[in-house]
Amino acid sequence: MYTTENSHLPTHVHSWAHFVVWNGAAAMAWKNPLSSWFTAMLHCFGGGILSCILLAEPPLRFLANNTNILLASSIWYITFFCPCDLVSQGYSFLPVQLLAAGMKEVTRTWKIVGGVTHANSYYKNGWIVMIAIGWARGAGGSIITNFEQLVKGGWKPEADEWLKMSYPAKVTLLGSVIFTFQQTKHLAISRHNLMFLYTMFLVATKITMMITETAIMPFAPFEDTLSRMLFGWQQQFSSCEKKTETKSSFNGTGSSTSKPIAVASDKVKKKHTKKTE
């Protein structure tokens, strides 16, 4: 199953090239080529490395495939050190980016399915393990960004993927859950049909986000509703308690102010009766 992880390597490397070119990595590559190459390999093979660690397999297993390593290294080299920067300039055209992005989402589906199937071979019907491995295999490059930043010397704990999940990590987690249900026979649909529908959703969403240049979050309304249903009870109770406290304090001040007024009126009545007598 590990070959499935790297069977679509050129597409994944092209997506990595788009990532590094537009995030100021060229200067780092010229200054420290070894660190740049290592972070590139982490981004390309991060899903396989992370899934191997979770399944207690050798994390350097990806180095055994010399063809993939040489291919990824050659693309890394021409991306940063091509004369006149022709590769990055050619990749700056929108049609090329759309094509690479669509192919990357197709690759993501295959990686998720491969991770779920691989985990099922170790833990039969262990759906939590299957979800975790499918998620790691499909979004490993974004999940291990902390280690990648540490290698580059720019670690930023506040940008942790666990603290603020990106859209690729969220959609990969959703796909891992869906394919795990299909693998355990809890979802009555064939794998090929499910892969087709899921891939079309990924491609359409990604292309729309790139064309409109907006960060469309299809899961935002669902996440907000689910968060309020599951984790918003304490906030609702605290708001209700604050309202009751304000009401009680208002009532207390009203009663305390009314007492002196009543006492003063009684004194006035007593004086008036004495004068009349």
| pLDDT tens for each residue of 32-66 | 788 788 888 888 888 888 888 888 888 888 778 88
Tokens representing 263 are 């006492």
Place of tokens 């992005």: 101
For the cut 70, the answer to whether the pLDDT of residue 249 exceeds it is no
Q: Which residue has the higher pLDDT, 117 or 235?
A: 117
Distance between CA atoms of residues 28 and 36, nearest Å: 7
Percentages (nearest 5) of helix, strand, coil residues in the chain: 85, 0, 15
Give per-residue pLDDT as tens, 99-157: 888 888 998 999 999 999 999 998 888 889 999 999 988 887 777 766 666 666 666 66
**Average pLDDT for residues 247-265, to the nearest whole number?**
50
Task: Quote the pLDDT of residue 167.
Answer: 82
pTM confidence score: 0.70
How sure is the predictor about 22, in pLDDT bands with cuts at 50, 70 and 90?
very low
Please report the pLDDT score of residue 9 as a whole number.
47
| Lookup result for tokens 């050190």 | 81
Q: How far apart are CA 32 and CA 92, in angstroms?
A: 24
In 10 A of CB 116, how many CB atoms?
Answer: 31
Q: How far apart are CA 122 and CA 105, in angstroms?
A: 26
Q: Is the pLDDT of residue 11 over 70?
A: no
- The residue ranking higher by pLDDT, 232 or 178, is 178
Between 189 and 18, the more confident residue is: 189
Own/partner pairs for 197-201, CB < 8 Å, 24+ apart?
198/109, 199/105, 199/106, 199/109
